């Protein structure tokens, strides 16, 4: 060891002498050795957009909320189905895709730097698209946690500890941002790096208006009346000249290439895995209604009872249906993040609530409902939608729905027999079809379930969230990092939650 040490010292000394006796008298003569002369000095904003868009599919296919609404069941490790309370982080979304989107907005808003990014599209078009996608991300975050950082977020070193905005203020700002984004588009170069719409601003405008409609409807419990804030914002969005998503051709869809490391989350989550299965809850509804979407939602085999303990689950045969039919969970399977079906069913609800007159944009409540259901069938590659909407189970005027005791296993009796998808009102029929059309998109389905309380899903009798009353969770709990890094800011948000930072506390629009 001593000899090795001496050799090391000699090497260092010799090296220093050699440097001292060359024409380079100072290390500074080599320039800044921390800078790569071949590296980019500014980001490529088209690449930032691609990165932000590429992560949307995994967000839309989150398994936790899909379990909460009983779309899927855990077959082995069942803690999430029993409502184990984790502390989940949202910081990665802010630090990753949302920061990229804000960078696009900031750099194109600055006259001194905007010209550097002209190859990625006109500054106006880049700002508009980035704002729309950022609003979508923020929407999914606030709907899961409630109050989150927003107005002071994404400022980097200028503010490492932003305040948590009230959800009410976040919604107002998101809706306004979408409105402004639509007016921002110009006739300049379309955005580059757009892996969803290929720079087609007509489709981006339709998406922005559709998001405005959905966000406004999300506030129906707080502003239920015609002429109120939510109804007014909905009317402004549906009547915008740019239109809304009314055809599957305009769906907000992420497409994946075959044979790539960039794979569909449906493939990553469900292909070849046996720890998730189609839930008996949704399976019963589909069977009771003669709904052909069952063939698309899962492979053949029996549906799996939701809410079993591990000891119960592992006693069942393994020939249960996996989530999604095989051709729909390949590495290149597309993920729909906002659909014509969802938009049309929401229009039916708005007319039913009296928010907009029957006949708005050619829609009646009945026609929008029928069109929404048929669009869902077509989205899943099925042609039987027209017959289905005229059948006794799904008909808008008097459809009976999906039956009582849905999801219950006579062997385990893990779900109360009061679990119901029986429909007696038009709003319930709309809610049930939203539940079915959103299959796979857990975040949106969970939000609609919390808002509409339909279908009338019941918690498993095996629930372990005793402190939360063994109820189906209504929000995510703030992550450990928030308490460690910003205790005062998260603490202020917690004081606004009825019951505190718990899974059964309700976000503002659900109160």
- Domains defined for the chain, CATH in brackets: 46-510 (1.25.40.390)
DSSP characters over 187-219: SSPPPSS-TTTTT-HHHHHHHHHHHHHHHHHHT
Question: What are the tokens at 248?
Answer: 């599957």
Examine the pLDDT at 26 and tell me if it is beyond 70.
no
Q: Round the average pLDDT of the chain to a whole number and report it.
A: 92
Longest dimension (CA), the chain: 95
CA distances from 415 to 305, 307, 433 (A): 9, 8, 22
Q: Is the pLDDT of residue 21 over 60?
A: no
The answer on pLDDT for 14 being more than 80 is no
Q: What is the pLDDT of residue 61?
A: 83
Whether 20 has a pLDDT exceeding 60, the answer reads no
Are 273 and 266 within 8 A, CB to CB? no
pLDDT value at 15 more than 60 = no
Averaged over 39-46, what is the pLDDT?
Answer: 74
pTM exceeds 0.85 for this model: yes
In sequence order, which residues have a C-beta less than 8 Å from that of residue 251 and are 6 or more positions away? 245, 336, 338, 339, 340, 379
Asked if pLDDT for residue 32 goes beyond 70, the answer is: no
At residue 467, the pLDDT reads 87
Could you report the per-residue pLDDT of 211-225, keeping only the tens digit for each?
999 999 999 999 999
Mean pLDDT of 292-310: 96
pLDDT 10s digits, 179-206: 999 999 999 999 999 999 999 999 999 9
Please report the pLDDT score of residue 59 as a whole number: 87
Q: Which band of pLDDT confidence, cut at 50, 70 and 90, is reported for residue 24? A: very low
With a CB cutoff of 8 Å and minimum separation 6, the contacts of 425 are: none
The pLDDT tens digits of the residues spanning 54-92 come to 999 988 889 999 999 999 999 999 999 999 998 999 999
Predicted pLDDT at 271? 87
Q: 3-class SS at 137?
A: helix
Distance separating alpha carbons of residues 131 and 128, to the nearest angstrom: 5
| Residue 481 reports pLDDT greater than 50 | yes
Closest CA to 234 of 216, 220, 218: 216
Under DSSP, is residue 320 helix (H, G, I), strand (E, B) or coil? strand
Has residue 12 got a pLDDT over 80? no
- Say yes or no to pLDDT of 137 above 90: yes
């Amino acid at each position: 060891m001593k000899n090795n040490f001496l050799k090391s010292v000699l090497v260092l000394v010799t090296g220093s002498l050699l440097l001292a006796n060359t024409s380079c008298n100072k290390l500074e003569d080599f320039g800044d050795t921390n800078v790569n002369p071949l590296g980019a000095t500014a980001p490529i904003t088209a690449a930032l957009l691609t990165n932000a868009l590429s992560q949307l599919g995994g967000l839309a296919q989150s398994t936790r909320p899909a379990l909460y609404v009983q779309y899927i069941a855990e077959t082995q490790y069942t803690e999430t189905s029993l409502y184990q309370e984790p502390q989940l982080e949202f910081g990665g979304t802010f630090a990753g895709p949302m920061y990229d989107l804000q960078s696009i907005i900031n750099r194109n808003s600055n006259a001194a730097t905007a010209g550097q990014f002209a190859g990625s599209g006109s500054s106006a078009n880049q700002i508009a698209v980035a704002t729309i996608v950022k609003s979508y991300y923020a929407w999914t975050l606030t709907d899961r946690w409630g109050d989150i950082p927003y107005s002071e977020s994404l400022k980097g070193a200028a503010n490492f500890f932003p305040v948590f905005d009230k959800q009410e203020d976040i919604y107002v700002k998101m809706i306004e941002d979408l409105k402004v984004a639509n007016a921002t588009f110009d006739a300049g170069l379309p955005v580059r790096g757009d892996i969803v719409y290929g720079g087609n601003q007509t489709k981006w405008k339709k998406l922005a208006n559709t998001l405005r409609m959905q966000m406004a409807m999300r506030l129906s419990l707080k502003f239920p009346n015609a002429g109120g804030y939510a109804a007014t914002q909905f009317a402004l969005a549906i009547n915008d000249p740019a239109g809304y998503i009314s055809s599957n051709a305009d769906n907000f869809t992420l497409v994946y290439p075959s044979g790539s490391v960039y794979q569909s989350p449906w493939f990553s989550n469900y292909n070849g895995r046996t720890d998730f299965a189609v839930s008996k809850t949704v399976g019963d509804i589909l069977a009771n209604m003669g709904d052909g979407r069952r063939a698309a939602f899962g492979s053949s085999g029996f549906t799996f009872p939701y809410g079993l303990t591990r000891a119960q689950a592992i006693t069942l045969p393994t020939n249960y249906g996996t989530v999604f039919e095989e051709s729909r969970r390949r590495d290149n399977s597309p993920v729909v993040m906002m659909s014509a079906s969802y938009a049309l069913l929401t229009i039916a609800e708005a007319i039913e609530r009296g928010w907009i007159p029957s006949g708005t944009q050619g829609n009646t409540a009945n026609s929008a409902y029928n069109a929404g259901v048929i669009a869902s069938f077509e989205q899943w590659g099925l042609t039987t939608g027209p017959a289905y909407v005229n059948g006794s189970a799904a008909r808008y005027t008097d459809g009976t729905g999906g039956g009582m005791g849905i999801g219950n296993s006579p062997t385990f009796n893990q779900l109360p027999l009061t679990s119901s998808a029986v429909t007696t009102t038009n709003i319930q029929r709309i809610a049930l079809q939203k539940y079915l059309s959103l299959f796979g998109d857990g975040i949106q389905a969970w939000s609609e379930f919390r808002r509409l309380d339909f279908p009338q899903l019941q918690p498993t009798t095996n629930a372990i969230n005793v402190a939360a009353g063994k109820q189906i969770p209504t929000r995510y709990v703030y992550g450990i990092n928030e308490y460690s890094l910003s205790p005062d800011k998260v603490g202020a948000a917690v004081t606004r939650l009825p019951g505190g930072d718990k899974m059964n506390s309700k976000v503002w629009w659900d109160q």
